[in-house]
Amino acid sequence: MTDTPEITVMSFNIQVGIGSSRARHMVLHGWKYVMPHGQSLRNLERIADILREADIVGLNEVDAGSFRSQYVNQAGFLAERAHFAHWEQQRTRDFGDFAQHSNSILSHWPIAQTNRHALPSFMKGRGMLETHLDVHGRPLTVIITHLGLSRHARFSQIRDLAQRLRGRPHLILMGDFNCTARSPEMRLLLTESGLRPPPWSPPTFPSWSPRFSFDHILCSPDLELTAIETIGEPLSDHLALKAKLRWGAAIMAHATPP
């Protein structure tokens, strides 16, 4: 990793390592959501190969260490295999030994502070993982979230997110929003928060025939999204989304050289 103002970030809903790559897998592999299976660690190894392309990774649907994941904390496993020195996670639904749903971040840069917030939801389990990074002496806030399946829930969650994020500088928001770039929910989020979308929003779901842009990477106006693409290998029901960002000209003009 070189000392450069450009940052490569990735958002990936890894579906707890199930590895769905065909429509029929959504039915045939359903039992893997609750039971351990021999393929999961091999799937995670393949996911780790993809994550090495990024400096910062946001993960959704990560198991924090339960029976179904063979008691492997999947975020820690991926951080080790993909050579990330720093990682944090937020357990959003803790069912003890049965399942531990989480949002997670992997970073090459130190994580100075972590805050975990619950988002409004009919069923407890939606949240935002807020981390403050030190990127070559410059502060950067990275927030990972996973929004609800119903539109009513997403509107409540987005209003909460927008209130927390409005006007904040040096910020990246990413995750599985369960809604497309042109949805009313996304329009509300962009309007109320002031965050900027990428030049375009490539479809990420379903991974075997992508039609919907459910995964997103947004940033504050003092950052610039210069490129965005999906990683075409279907290792989950979502494709990984990768973007390149750089500091705005005003930030660079006042930055202290590392």
Provide the token pair at 3: 């000392």
Query: What pTM was estimated for this model as a whole?
Result: 0.89
pLDDT in tens, 48-76: 999 999 999 999 999 998 877 778 999 99
Q: By percentage, how much of the chain surpasses pLDDT 70? A: 86
Tell me how crowded residue 229 is: count the other CB atoms within 10 A of its CB: 14
Residue 31 pLDDT exceeds 70: no
Please tell me which residue, 257 or 6, carries the higher pLDDT value: 6
Q: What is the pLDDT of residue 240?
A: 97
Place of tokens 């610039």: 224
Mean pLDDT computed over 142-163: 96
Q: What is the pLDDT of residue 253?
A: 40
Residue 256 pLDDT exceeds 50: no
Q: What is the pLDDT of residue 257?
A: 37
Q: What is the pLDDT of residue 65?
A: 84
Within 8 A by CB and 6+ apart from 11, the residues are 57, 58, 60, 144, 174, 175, 176, 215, 216, 217, 240, 241
CA angle 228, 179, 102 (to 5 degrees): 85
pLDDT in tens, 155-210: 999 999 999 999 999 999 999 999 999 999 999 999 999 999 999 999 999 999 99
Provide the token pair at 162: 């927008």
Cβ burial of 171 (10 Å; 0-12, 13-18, 19+) is buried
- What domains can you pick out in the chain, each with its CATH number? 7-254 (3.60.10.10)
d(CA 21, CA 28): 11
